[in-house]
Amino acid sequence: MSSLGSAVLAALLAIGDQRSWQILAWLGGSSSTATSQSALLLAGLGVASLGLALLFCRWLTVLPLGDGVSRSLGLPLRASRVVMLLLCGLTTGAASLLVGPLSFVGLVAPHIAVVAGFTRARDHLLASFLLGVLIMLFADFGARTATFPYDLPLGFFAALAGAPYLIWMLGRRP
């Protein structure tokens, strides 16, 4: 998907289409176009998605144990996987529509939660959610204040916050 998006963007930039700058801004992530209604809608959707995920904590505890264990404990494998993927897709899609692709937050926040000791499914979900919110708040603050009155991409600041941690995680010995 990234390669396809890059190819479309390169083609639009090459022909000088004004929409290419809008696509470029969206790819960097920006909350400048968010209204109070859209932000409240997204926050409500995030909290509702977290609430739904918390209802399925048993599934999230059992699924990593493997197919055999999950089946023997009576977990409907196909249904549980489909429900979890739909829930993740809905939440990720809604956030991407509003601010753009900020996948780095979704990559780093759960790992920070595990290192901080939140390993049970319920605790991990709550900690990842709160850490993701904090990372985005810091990224938004940085994007809005670093070059005031201009907004820089949120993805840039989220990567600045998370990249050093990710590099440290990759470099440490297990």
10 token code pair? 């390169």
CA distance 61 to 99: 31
75 token code pair? 């977990």
Q: What is the pTM of this model?
A: 0.78
Output the tens digit of pLDDT for each of the chain's 174 residues.
667 777 877 787 788 777 777 777 777 666 767 778 888 888 898 899 999 999 999 898 888 888 888 889 888 989 999 999 999 888 888 877 777 777 677 778 888 898 899 999 999 999 999 998 888 888 888 878 887 887 777 777 777 767 787 788 778 766
Please give the torsion angle defined by the CA atoms of residues 95, 97, 101 and 105, in that order, rounded to the nearest 10 degrees.
-10
The type of residue at 26 is W
Domains belonging to the chain, first-starting first, are 2-171 (1.10.3470.10)
Quick check: 62 and 69 in contact, CB under 8 A? Answer: yes
Q: What is the pLDDT of residue 139?
A: 81
Rg from Cα positions in the chain: 19
Q: Which residues touch 4 (CB under 8 Å, ≥6 apart)?
A: none
Contacts 24+ apart (CB under 8 A), 39-47: 39/98, 42/94, 42/95, 42/98, 45/90, 45/91, 45/94, 46/91, 46/94, 46/95, 46/129
